[in-house]
Amino acid sequence: MTFLDKPKGLQQSLDQETLLHQMINQIRRSLDLQEILTTTVSQVRLFLGADRVKVYRFDSDGSGEVIAESIHEQRLPSLLGQRFPADDIPQEAREMFLLAQQRSIVDVANGKIGLSPLQSKEIGKRLETNIHYRQVDPCHIQYLKAMGVQSSLIVPILDCDPQEQSAKPKLWGLLVSHQSEPRKILKRELKVLQQVADQVAIAIAQSNLLTAARAKQEREASINRVTTLLHKLPTIQLQGALEEVITAFNGTGGRLYIEHSQELYTWGDQPTLSYELDNSIIEQHPIWQNWMAESKQGNIWATTDLYKEPHLRVLALAFRSTQIRGLLVIPLHYREKFIGVLSIFRCEFETEILWAGRCEQNRRQLLPQLSFELWREQKKGQSVEWKPEDISLAQALYDHFSMAIQQQQMFKQVQTLNANLELRVQEQTYELEKSLLFTKVLKQVTEHIRRTLDLQTTLQSIVREVRALLNSDRVVIFELKRKSVIVEEINGNWQSVLGINAPADCFPDEYSFLYSLGRVRAINNVLTASLHDCHREFLQSLQVQATLIVPINIGLEVWGLLIVHECEAPRDWQNGEIDLLQQLGDQAAIAIQQAQLYEQTCNAETEARNQAAQLEHTLHELQETQTRLIHTEKMSGLGQLVAGVAHEINNPVNFIYANLCHANDYTRQLLEILRLYQLHYPHPHSEISAAIKAMDFEFLVEDLPKIMTSMQVGSDRIRSIVLSLRSFSRLDEAENKRVDLHEGIDNTLLILQHRLKGNGEFPGIEIIKDYGNIPRVECYAGQMNQVFMNIISNAIDALEMENGSRRDKKNTQYPMPTIHISTRVSGDDSRLLIRISDNGAGMTEEVKKRIFDPFYTTKPVGKGTGLGLAISYQIIVEKHSGIMECISEPGKGTEFWIEIPVTPLSTIDR
């Protein structure tokens, strides 16, 4: 490329002046920077006769973008809107453009670059426009050839802030001219392009000033609109102000939370807390509250990606269902007190960047870019950056919102104080009137008590006066001794509860104790009050929705309860109403005491009845003692009988058992001899053949070993039963000693084996053993075997009775009768737990309460004495210091729970 110093004529000078004149007019006439740049590249291309002229703007990350372009007859491909990576223009070149304002002239054909600095980098003074040539980087030559460029001219465009004289200029961009063929550049043309670049810099400064002025004007207008909405007392428009703020920040949503009243104003897209975060309002979550507690007054927090903030890691889950990504948080304070928080949201968006060729990291160090084919890069999850002017606007709004919220709270407090003052005056007037009326009622009741000793009349008068005074639906007096209502007064068509008994299980003994201490119970709403289900159902059966209860105490005992029922709807009981009812309860106690004094003449009869009851109790105890003695003697005799029978049976059984093996051998030998005769003498005498045929010899030979085997099994069975009878009787182990209870249970099951087997009418009983690893237990073995015998026998009886009732119901499937036996040791190895259960019909609550009573039985006449479980209970509880309980429900079977110490307490004490 050749540089010419001499102009070709007057026409070229006129073209230069025309170009500058048009540029200056365009800048003065238009405030649109893009329009100015478009005109600039078009005029410069015409002036230079270039194939392509473009304006290249640097971005903050160092990359650049072609924002204006003019091409002559498509000689070179368009680069408009395309980006170039930061490595395309090295940092050293940018610094030279900025410090020396140098122009670059590249001659691709000769591989040279001409540099024409405007000022010295060393001394900072403006230089004469001279061009210095040097060899260009081969990589740069390949780069330009790949673009189809043979000649290139580059002029820097600087950006200076006119409002700050001392501010250093910044490298804004480049004005670039490209030729597809080598071209000579005139010195005057270079000078004109520098002047054009200076005019463009002026246009950029003007555009920046205009943009800043408009943004400032818009912010001030937004602040004025928000201020107007916030300071409209007494109707502060917080919702409207929030919407205005979101619009001012170009947000897609936001929220204003007030700490004192816990009010929340929202608009636009909103986060939603999931059930894992235990709250429905994000500002009430502990993580958010801790964050606000640590925030300093006046601090504004902003992020373009809330998912990258560590302290929002948990709360970010609430934003997953939204497009929100940018977040601006303005904590509000008034005199260092946190009063709320204003949050602004910005949604994420996708961006598409058009690159001039595919970008690779560090590609300049690998190979020069050889292709500028358009490459689209997609970026997701982007959010608009919060600019300094946004933070400035947030600071301005901070003061206005803090002041407005504080004013609103103060205004509400004044209104509340005025309303409370009026309400207190009305309440005091009403209380005085009610107190006067209560006093008159108390006087009437007191006079009535003095006039009569009739308890019923006095109590009826009390409930009548209370019902009218409290304007309730029903008033009753409940006598604790009778456990029923003895007096009532009803207003309306509500059902009478006179004589109704309260369920015993619904009112435990601790209730009476609390009432004896003066407890008063006010239930405003039966449905929401903390009550037992039984108690709530009982009140609902009486149509009660609210109730007030005060005790009637005589001395230290509770005689009864004075109760007010509200049946129409729930009711909030007032302190005055409670005080009145307490005083009337005291008056009722006085009336009852007077009636009791009047009835003292009947005390003798009552005492006689008590003595008779005591004698009856003594007789019952004597009967129980006699029953125990009889059963003990009976079991002792039974044990001796079982032991004797076992001994007598043992001798002949041992004889049979000892000889069965010999008989079995002899029989097998004889059968072998017969087989040999048949083998060697296949044709016996006719008389022998007739005898063989008559006796069915083949069947005899086959069945005789089976008979011997059955006899062997039977003898084994008899010996096992004898051993079990001896173990069960335990005559040699009557004292307390360590035994294996599993052996006792197994012996009991063996004795009862005939009852466990099935028949045509009974499918049999399945025994499930769940034995634990238990130690030998120190106990009375014979007595423990009696307990196992009684419980398992009763279980068998229950399953047989249940099977009998099931046979009447045809075509119905029932589970297999089962007895489950389980043994376990406690965690500290001190106690043994034995559980014996069946899947029979179970027991009702009334039967379960009496199963341990002597002579009580549910079996048919002649099948039970009612002593088995009573004696078993005494053996476990009294003899072994254990626990025996029964768990049963109708239709769910029965389970006996036995718990005894592994070592008796007396042994431990020693």
* CA distances, 459 to each of 489, 499, 501 (Å): 10, 15, 19
Cβ contact 219:248 at 8 Å = yes
Tokens representing 159 are 């950006």
CA atoms within 13 A on the CB side of 187: 10
> Is there a cis peptide before residue 117, judged by omega within 30 degrees of 0?
no
The model's pLDDT over 590-613, given as tens digits with 9 standing for 90+, comes to: 777 777 776 666 666 677 778 777
The predicted structure's pLDDT at residue 165: 60
Q: Do the beta carbons of residue 588 and residue 540 sit within 8 Å? A: no
What distances in angstroms separate CA 683 from CA 63, 409, 693, one per listed residue? 121, 128, 13
| Ranges assigned E (strand) in 72-169 | 83-84, 103-107, 112-116, 132-135, 151-159
What are the two backbone dihedrals, phi and then psi, of residue 373, each rounded to the nearest 5 degrees? -65, 140
The residues near 333 (Cβ < 8 Å, ≥ 6 apart) are 297, 298, 339, 402
pLDDT tens for each residue of 625-683: 666 666 555 555 555 566 666 666 766 777 776 777 778 777 888 888 887 887 888 88
pLDDT at 767: 92
pLDDT of residue 283: 86
First to last CA, the chain: 121
Sheet with 546-554, edge to edge strand ranges: 484-490, 474-479, 557-566, 546-554, 521-523
Distance CA 369, CA 196 (A): 30
Closest residue by Cα to residue 84 from 350, 359, 352, 351: 359
Structure tokens that stand for 503 in this block: 């369920």
Specify the length of the chain in residues: 910
Per-residue pLDDT reduced to its tens digit, 884-897: 999 998 888 999 99
Query: Does residue 705 contact residue 667 with C-beta atoms inside 8 Å?
Result: yes
CA distance 315 to 306: 9
Q: What is the pLDDT of residues 328-367, one digit of tens each?
A: 999 998 888 898 999 999 988 776 776 776 666 554 444 5
Count other Cβ atoms within 10 Å, centred on residue 414: 11
Closest CA to 153 of 198, 126, 123, 183: 183
Q: Which residues of the chain have pLDDT under 50?
A: 1-10, 363-366, 730-733, 908-910
Give pLDDT, residue 382.
72
Helices (H) and strands (E) in the chain, counts: 21, 29
CA distances 457 to 185, 453, 473, Å, are: 129, 9, 21
| Contact (Cβ atoms closer than 8 angstroms) between residue 359 and residue 375 | yes
Residue 169's nearest CA partner among 130, 208, 137, 141 is 208
Which two structure tokens, joined as six digits, stand for 446?
Answer: 């007191």
Sorted by sequence, the CB contacts under 8 Å of residue 292 that are 6+ apart come out as 283, 331, 338, 341
Residue with tokens 């106990």: 779
Pairwise CA distance, residues 898 & 890, whole Å: 21
CA pair distance 785, 728, nearest whole angstrom: 6
Distance CA 178, CA 706 (A): 118
The structure tokens listed for 651 are 């001798």
Per the CB < 8 A criterion, the answer to whether 157 and 201 are in contact is yes
Nearest to 763 by CA among 734, 800, 715: 800
User: Angle at which helices 388-451 and 238-248 pack, to 10 degrees?
Assistant: 160
DSSP per-residue string spanning 719-738 = HHHHHHHHHHH-GGG-S-EE
Residue 617 neighbours by CB distance under 10 Å: 10
Other Cβ atoms within 10 Å of 662 Cβ, number: 9
Query: Which DSSP helix (H) or strand (E) runs through 478?
Result: strand 474-479
| Residue 66 · residue 81 · CB < 8 Å | yes
Which backbone phi and psi does 356 adopt, to 5 degrees? -80, 80
Q: Cβ atoms within 10 A of the Cβ of 673, count?
A: 9
Paired tokens of 629: 């003695």
C-alpha dist (Å) from residue 363 to 86, 360, 662, 728: 11, 5, 104, 97
